[in-house]
C-alpha cells in the first residue's frame, strides 16, 4: 500500500470587495477525489497522515515539556546562585566595612603609639640632659672636696712641724730659767692643745670629707650607670 500526503486544501473564492484581515476565516474545501485512487485508499492515507502528525506533535510536545523543565531547573539554579551571590556580596561588604573600621582603628592606635614613643624619647632626652648636668656638678664638687682634703693634710703637716719645732726649742732652752721654762711649758701645752684640737678637728674634717667623697663617687658611679642605660634606651 502506498501512503500519500493528502493534497493541500483549496480556499473558497471570496468576494474581492470584502476587506482583507489577518484574522479572517478561511474555508477550505476538500479537493475532488483523484480518479486514480480508491476511496478506501484515500481514507487509509488520511488516517496514517494524521497518526504521523499526532506522533510528531506528541514528540514535539514531550521535547517542549522537557525543555520547559530544563529551563525551570536552570532558572531555579540561577536563582539560587543569584541568592548565594547576593549573600556573598553582603558578606564581602560587611567584611570590607569591618576591615575599613579595623584599618581606621589601627591608624588611631599607631598615631597614639607614635605620640607616646615621641613623648618617652623627649622625656628620656630631658632626663639625660639633667643627669649630665648633675654629673658635671658632682665632678666639680668632688674636685673641691679633694682640694679641701689636700689643704687639711697640709695644715696637719704644718701643725706637726710646729710641734716638733717647739719641742726642739724647749729642749734647747731647758737650761734656761724656771720662769722661762714654765712659760715655754705653758706655751708648749697650749700649742699641744691647739695642735691636738686642730688635729682632731682635721681628722673629723678629713673623715667627713672622706665620707662625702665616697658618697660622691658612689653617686657618680650610679649616674654613669643611669647614663649608660639612657644611652642604650635612646639607641
Cα Rg of the chain (Å, integer):
66
d(CA 91, CA 23): 56
131-139 average pLDDT score:
86
201-210 average pLDDT score:
81
Q: Model-level pTM greater than 0.95?
A: no
Three-state SS at 28: strand
- Give the residue extent of every domain in the chain: 123-234
Three-state SS at 10: strand
- Pinpoint the alpha helices (H) of the chain: 39-172, 178-234
| 78 vs 225 pLDDT, higher one | 78
| 177 vs 87 pLDDT, higher one | 87
69-73 average pLDDT score:
90
Checking if the pLDDT of 190 tops 70, the result is: yes
Checking if the pLDDT of 90 tops 80, the result is: yes
Residue 20: partners with Cβ closer than 8 Å, 6 or more residues away: none
Checking if the pLDDT of 31 tops 60, the result is: no
In this predicted structure, which of 11-20, 60-69, 139-148, 163-172 has the lowest mean pLDDT? 11-20
In percent, how much of the chain has pLDDT > 90? 5
How many CB atoms neighbour CB 24 within 10 A? Answer: 9
Checking if the pLDDT of 181 tops 70, the result is: no
187-215 average pLDDT score:
81
C-alpha cell of residue 145: 672636696
Three-state SS at 11: strand
Which band of pLDDT confidence, cut at 50, 70 and 90, is reported for residue 158? confident
Q: Check: CB of residue 142 under 8 Å from CB of residue 216.
A: yes
Residue 98 pLDDT: 92
Which band of pLDDT confidence, cut at 50, 70 and 90, is reported for residue 97? very high
Residue 191: partners with Cβ closer than 8 Å, 6 or more residues away: 162, 163, 166
Q: What is the mean pLDDT of the chain?
A: 76
Amino acid at each position: 500500500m502506498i501512503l500519500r500526503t493528502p493534497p493541500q486544501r483549496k480556499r473558497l473564492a471570496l468576494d474581492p470587495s470584502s476587506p482583507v484581515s489577518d484574522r479572517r476565516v478561511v474555508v477550505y474545501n476538500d479537493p475532488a477525489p483523484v480518479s486514480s485512487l480508491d476511496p478506501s485508499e484515500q481514507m487509509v492515507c488520511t488516517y496514517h497522515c494524521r497518526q504521523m502528525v499526532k506522533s510528531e506533535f506528541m514528540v514535539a510536545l514531550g521535547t517542549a515539556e522537557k525543555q520547559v523543565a530544563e529551563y525551570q531547573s536552570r532558572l531555579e539554579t540561577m536563582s539560587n546562585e543569584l541568592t548565594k551571590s547576593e549573600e556573598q556580596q553582603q558578606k564581602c561588604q560587611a567584611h570590607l566595612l569591618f576591615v575599613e573600621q579595623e584599618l581606621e582603628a589601627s591608624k588611631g592606635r599607631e598615631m597614639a603609639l607614635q605620640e607616646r614613643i615621641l613623648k618617652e624619647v623627649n622625656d628620656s632626652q630631658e632626663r639625660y640632659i639633667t643627669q649630665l648636668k648633675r654629673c658635671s656638678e658632682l665632678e666639680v664638687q668632688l674636685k673641691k672636696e679633694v682640694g679641701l682634703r689636700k689643704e687639711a693634710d697640709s695644715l696637719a703637716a704644718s701643725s706637726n712641724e710646729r710641734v716638733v719645732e717647739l719641742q726642739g726649742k724647749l729642749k734647747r732652752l731647758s737650761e734656761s730659767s724656771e720662769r722661762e721654762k714654765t712659760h715655754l711649758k705653758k706655751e708648749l701645752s697650749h700649742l699641744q692643745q691647739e695642735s691636738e684640737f686642730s688635729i682632731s678637728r682635721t681628722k673629723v674634717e678629713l673623715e667627713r670629707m672622706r665620707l662625702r667623697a665616697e658618697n660622691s663617687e658612689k653617686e657618680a658611679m650610679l649616674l654613669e650607670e643611669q647614663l649608660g642605660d639612657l644611652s642604650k634606651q635612646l639607641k
